[in-house]
Chains A and B, each alone.
Chain A
Amino acid sequence: NENFVGHQVLRISAADEAQLQKVKELEDLEHLKLDFWRDPARAGIPIDVRVPFPSVQSVKAFLEYHDISYEIMIEDVQSLLDEEKQQMAAFQARAL
């Protein structure tokens, strides 16, 4: 099972078209391995992106450099996945 320890999901708010384009530039940088949960659509609509641990710092630095605001939507993806698995296992155990 793929491991997502340290992966974070950022909710980015592009204030205008210029900032939206900046975020789209990120999308094209394949080495960052970004996974857009909600694609950049238009200014004012939240953009959600899962950022692998090795890319977290550089993505945040990029956003801050361009004064693009963001919040951390999910601090650690793996912890939510573990929670989900535990929940399923508990129900399956009960079912058995």
Chain B
Amino acid sequence: STDTFNYATYHTLDEIYEFMDLLVAEHPQLVSKIQIGNTFEGRPIHVLKFSTGGTNRPAIWIDTGIHSREWVTQASGIWFAKKITKDYRQDDTLRVILDNMDIFLEIVTNPDGFAYTHKTNRMWRKTRSRTPGSLCVGVDPNRNWDAGFGKAGASSNPCSETYHGKFANSEVEVKSIVDFVTKHGKIKAFISIHSYSQLLLYPYGYTSDPAPDKEELDQLAKSAVSALTSLHGTKFKYGSIIDTIYQASGSTIDWTYSQGIKYSFTFELRDTGLRGFLLPASQIIPTAEETWLALLKIMDHTSKHLY
């Protein structure tokens, strides 16, 4: 059962998909599994939906693992899924959120890349699509969105780790989310989780123009970061992508924000100790716990400031 599932170790794609089915079977009144598409190599792309009822409610989207080697993010996504089912009756904040909104959680956003990190190359980051005319494989799925696509802050070289792809949404893993979000039409917060470098970022990445909602996003990021730090003391910085790290074009949250999803954030989770993507499994749960506090802040604010 998901009570005996081990959250303190890394899991394969099959184990994670099995976990999802277990969770749905244990909580059919709360959790359902949606397939939003198939990957380049034909794997199903699954999203968990947490809903206490109603139809076409406003919703919150959380995704992990868009960069496949960032294993602590998928592992945290599994922990979040279990946390929601455990807490939704007893945690007042979460109960109010779920009384008014649905939560969509995509734990493995890049299944082909993730499977490849287990089988062949633990350092793999991109998708596994093929680029005609190049021996190099894959596109950076966080440079492939239709927001400043192809501008400075991504590479046009198919061999680069930040290759943006032939055209916006060329990657089916990205297009599947675009279609889902567009069709749903009432996503009010979109949170994409990466690792590492302990950052909470909001738009924009492709331009230094401030986002119209910068003040509110900055205040919310500040409060989310202080909630995160309060648990284990992990220090985070926050700000717009371009001000806090560098120019990045075609990124997820620049597109979601351009779609009117005001509360668009990207996390870069911890590495507090020189291990980078190879974060020891012993840090999965502490990382997920602290991130959850920040997520709750963002979801709580969203549910109280629907627009």
- A-side residues, CB < 8 A to B, are 1-2, 4, 9, 11, 30, 35-42, 45, 48, 50, 73-74, 77, 80-81, 83-84, 87-88, 91, 94-95
Contacts and interface: CB of A to CB of B under 8 A. Distances in A.
A2 B276 contact: no
A37 B197 CA distance: 10
Contacts of A38: 196-197, 276
Nearest to A36: B161
B275 A80 contact: yes
A37 B276 contact: yes
Nearest to A33: B159
Nearest to B6: A91
A29 to B, nearest CB: 12
Given A1-B119, A36-B161, A37-B276, 8 more contacts: A38-B197, A45-B245, A80-B278, A84-B10, A87-B10, A87-B281, A91-B6, A91-B8
Interface string B188-213: 00000000110000000000000000
A95 B6 contact: yes
B276 A74 contact: yes
Given A42-B246, A91-B6, A73 B274 contact: yes
B245 A2 contact: no
B35 interface: no
Contact of A84 (B8, B121, B278): B278
B276 A48 contact: yes
B211 to A, nearest CB: 19
A48 B69 CA distance: 15
A11 B159 contact: no
* Secondary structure dominating the interface of B: loop
A30 B159 CA distance: 9
Interface residues of B, number: 24
Contact of A35 (B6, B10, B119, B161): B161
A4 B281 CA distance: 20
B278 A81 contact: yes
Contacts of A84: 10, 122, 278, 280-281
Given A9-B276, A87-B9, A2 B122 contact: yes
Nearest to A27: B160
B27 to A, nearest CB: 22
B120 A41 contact: no
A1 B120 contact: yes
A87 B158 CA distance: 34
A9 B279 CA distance: 14
B167 to A, nearest CB: 23
Contacts of A83: 280
Nearest to B273: A73
Nearest to B159: A30
28 contacts: A1-B122, A2-B120, A4-B122, A11-B274, A30-B159, A35-B161, A36-B161, A38-B197, A39-B162, A40-B246, A41-B245, A42-B245, A48-B276, A50-B123, A73-B274, A74-B274, A77-B278, A80-B275, A81-B122, A84-B122, A84-B278, A84-B280, A87-B9, A87-B281, A88-B11, A91-B6, A91-B8, A91-B9
